Amino acid sequence: MKLNLATKLFAGFLAILILFAAVVAVNYQLSRKVLRNLERVEQSQRITSDATSLVRNIVDMESGFYGFMLVGNETILTPYYQSERKLIDRFSHMKELLDPAGPQYARIQRAERLYHQWSDYSHLLISEKRAILRKTPDQTGLTQVEHRGLMENLSGKKITDEIRTLFRGFELNEDEARLELREKLAESVNQTRLLSIIITLLAFILGLLWATYITRLIARRISSMVSLATRIAGGDYTTRIMDTEHDEMSELASSLNVMSNTINTTVTQLEGRNLELDQFAYVVSHDLKAPLRGIESATRWIEEDMGQALPAHIQEFLLLMRTRVHRMENLISGILELARVGRTPQAEERVNVRELLTETMDMLSAPEGFQLKLPAYLPTITTSRVELQQVFANLLSNAFKYHHQPEQGTVSIRFSEDRRFYTFTVKDNGPGIAAAYHERIFVIFQTLTERDTLESTGVGLAIVKKLVERQGGTIRIESEEGQGAAFTFTWPKPHALAPEPAAGLASAILSR
C-alpha cells in the first residue's frame, strides 16, 4: 500500500516530534536526578554546618564551666546556659536530617549520650561550687568542692575529647559522602548533556534526511510538471506525464494531462478554423474587389463612350465613384494586412536600423522637401526585419501624409536603450493631435480628417500598435495641436522578456 504525500509529511513531522518529546522526557528525568543530588549535597553541607555549630556550643559550655569553677563568677556561665538551650534542639534537628540506619546517626546518638554525661558532670560540680560560694563568698578554685576529684582526674575532659573525636569522624565521613555526591552530580549533569545532544542530533539528522527525501520527491514531481508545461508552451500539445504514485500530486499531474489534451484539441480546432477564416477572407476579398474593379471599369467606359458630350457634373460623379472604389479596396487590403499580423512567423535577423530607416523612406516616396533626421548612433539589433519596417513605415507615412506643409516637413528619430528595451521616438513638425484623440487614433478605422479631404483607411496605427504589443513593447503619443506629434515605442532586446509558459501559450493561441 503506497502512502500519499500528506501521510509521508505527517509521518516525518510525527517522528521528529516524538524525538523531541523524548528529549524533553529524558531531560526531565535527568534533571530530577541532578536536583536530587544537588539537594543531597546541600543537605550534607547543612549537616556539616550544624555539626560544627554543635561542637562550638559544647566548647562554649566547656569554657563557661571551667571559668566558673576557677573564678566563681555567675556571669561566666551565661554562654554555658545559652549553648545548653541550643544543643537540645541541634541534636534533635541533626537526627531528623540523618538516616536512622546510617553510621552518622549512630555517631550523633553516641555524641548525645556523652554530652548528657558531661552535662550531668558539669551540673553536679556547678551546684557544689555554688553551695560553697554561698557559705564562703571568697572561695576560689576547687577548694572544698566535694567531687573535685572528677576534675582532677580529667573525667570531664575525657568525655569532651571523645565528643570531639566523634565529630571529627562525623565531619570526615560527611566530607567523603559529599565528595561522592558531587561526583554523582557532575556525572548526572554530563549524562544529561550528552543524552540531550545525542537525541537532539538524532532529531536534527532525521529531520534533515526526511526533509531531503520529501524535497527531492516533490522537486522531481514538480520538475516533470514544469517540463510538461514547458513542452506545452513550446507547442508540443501531445505530451503527457506518467505518474504512478497515486497521491495528491498525481491529481495535479492528471489535471495537467487533461489541460494538455484540452489545449491540443482547442489548438487543432483553432488551426482548422483559422485556415477556414483565411480561405474565407481571401475569397471574400477577391469577391469584393472583383465588382469594385467592374465599377471602376464601367466609369471609365462611360467616359470613353460619352467623350466630350459628358456633362461636367457627371464627370465629377464618376471621379467620386472611382475614389470611393479605391477607398474600399484600400480598406479591404488594410483589414487583411491587420489580420495577418502575428499569423505568419517571422525569422529574426541582424538589422541595421539606420539602413532600415533610409530604405523605408526611399520606399515610401516622401514628398519633395520632406526631410528625415537621424541621430548620430542607431543600433544594429536582432529582430524581425519585416515587422520593425512595418512599424517605421506606417509612422513615417503618417508623418508626411497628414502634414499641412509637406514640402517643409521634418521627421526626427530619437533613440535610447536600457537593460531590457530599445526605445525609438518618431517626431514630426506637423499640425499635431489634440489630447482628446490620443487614444482614438490607435483604433481601427478611426481617422481625424474627413474621408473626402484625405484618403485614409484608419488601419495603419492599429497595425503599429498590434505589432509593437505583440513584440512585448508599448507605444504612446505626445502631441498638442500645432506642436507636431511624437510617437514613442519600445522594442524588446533579444531574450529580455521571458514570459511564463501559461502567458506564452495564451499569446500563441490568441495570435492564431
Q: Which stretch of DSSP H or E encloses residue 109?
A: helix 103-135
CA-based angle 487:470:397, to the nearest 5? 35
Tell me the pLDDT tens digit for each residue of 120-157. 888 888 888 788 888 887 777 777 777 777 777 788 88
Predicted local distance difference test score (pLDDT) of residue 423: 95
Say how many C-beta atoms besides its own lie within 10 A of residue 412's C-beta.
Answer: 17
Q: Which stretch of DSSP H or E encloses residue 431?
A: none
H-state helical runs in 143-247: 148-152, 155-233
Predicted local distance difference test score (pLDDT) of residue 512: 38
- CATH code for the structural domain at 346-512: 3.30.565.10
Q: Which amino acid is at 287?
A: D
**Class of domain 5-209 (CATH, top level):** mainly alpha
Q: pTM of the full predicted structure?
A: 0.41
Q: Which amino acid is at 80?
A: Y
Tell me the pLDDT tens digit for each residue of 225-252. 777 777 777 767 676 766 666 655 666 6
Tell me the pLDDT tens digit for each residue of 265-300. 887 777 777 677 666 666 666 666 667 677 777 777
Predicted local distance difference test score (pLDDT) of residue 366: 77
At residue 448 the predicted structure's pLDDT band, cuts being 50, 70 and 90, is very low
Tell me the pLDDT tens digit for each residue of 320-337. 777 666 656 655 655 565
Which is more confidently placed, 289 or 470?
470
The whole-angstrom distance between residue 431's C-alpha and the CA centroid of its chain comes to 55
Tell me the pLDDT tens digit for each residue of 27-80. 777 777 777 777 877 888 888 888 888 888 888 888 888 888 888 888 888 988
At residue 489 the predicted structure's pLDDT band, cuts being 50, 70 and 90, is very high
Q: Which amino acid is at 81?
A: Y
Predicted local distance difference test score (pLDDT) of residue 507: 41
Residue 410 and residue 484: Cα distance in Å, rounded? Answer: 10
Residue 471 and residue 384: Cα distance in Å, rounded? Answer: 10
Which is more confidently placed, 173 or 217?
173
At residue 490 the predicted structure's pLDDT band, cuts being 50, 70 and 90, is very high
At residue 416 the predicted structure's pLDDT band, cuts being 50, 70 and 90, is very high
Predicted local distance difference test score (pLDDT) of residue 504: 41
At residue 503 the predicted structure's pLDDT band, cuts being 50, 70 and 90, is very low
- Segment among 301-315, 408-422, 432-446 with least mean pLDDT: 432-446
DSSP secondary structure code for residue 371 in this structure = E
Q: Phi first, then psi: what are they for 455, rounded to 5°?
A: -70, 120
Across residues 216-220, what is the average pLDDT? 75
Closest CA to 350 of 378, 374, 377, 385: 385
Predicted local distance difference test score (pLDDT) of residue 378: 93
**In the predicted model, is pLDDT for residue 108 greater than 70?**
yes
Tell me the pLDDT tens digit for each residue of 297-320. 777 787 777 777 778 778 777 777
Cβ(326)–Cβ(356) below 8 Å: no
Burial 4-22 (b: 16+ CB within 10 A, else e): ebeebbeebeeebeebeee
Q: Which stretch of DSSP H or E encloses residue 350?
A: strand 348-352
Predicted local distance difference test score (pLDDT) of residue 277: 67
Predicted local distance difference test score (pLDDT) of residue 456: 47
Domain limits, the chain: 5-209, 247-340, 346-512
Across residues 428-457, what is the average pLDDT? 64
The answer to whether 5-209 and 346-512 have equal CATH topology is: no
